[in-house]
Amino acid sequence: MGRLDDITLEELYDLKDQIDEGKPRERVLAAIGRKKGDQLDTLADRHGVVEKTIRNWLDRFEEEPIGQAPYDAPRPGGPAKIEGEDREQLFEQLQQLPTELGYDQQAWSAKLLLHYVKEEYGVEYHETYA
């Protein structure tokens, strides 16, 4: 349990209370379980991941300040151009055939997708992204 020697259960519970859901919360819950003595295989089963993932999660608590350990580092690249409800709506629309949306083509091509996104959402992507 060396990874968590410098962190108390109280600190982990306080951190858990600050995180509503998602992978960061799972990471804190795994750290709490390990601090309480749970084995890696038990934690892996509980969280639906492999033991290596649990070890990686626990390593974060040794390598990072406790407040940063549950979170992923920022990833390169710009923000999404289509987000939220628009993104969900786009994914739903792409489940339809293009003919159902007024196009002559029977299947989505990269070129048609780029055109559709530009027309419907006002967002342009370079051809290399399709």
Q: Tell me the domain boundaries of the chain.
A: 2-63, 84-129
Indicate if the alpha-carbon torsion angle 101, 120, 128, 88 is positive or negative.
negative
pLDDT in tens, the chain (130 residues): 567 988 999 999 999 999 988 999 999 999 999 999 999 999 999 999 999 999 999 999 999 999 999 999 887 888 888 988 999 999 999 999 999 999 999 999 999 999 999 999 999 988 876 6
Region class of 71: left (phi > 0), else alpha (psi between -120 and 50), else beta: beta
For helices 84-93 and 110-121, give the axis angle rounded to 10 degrees.
140
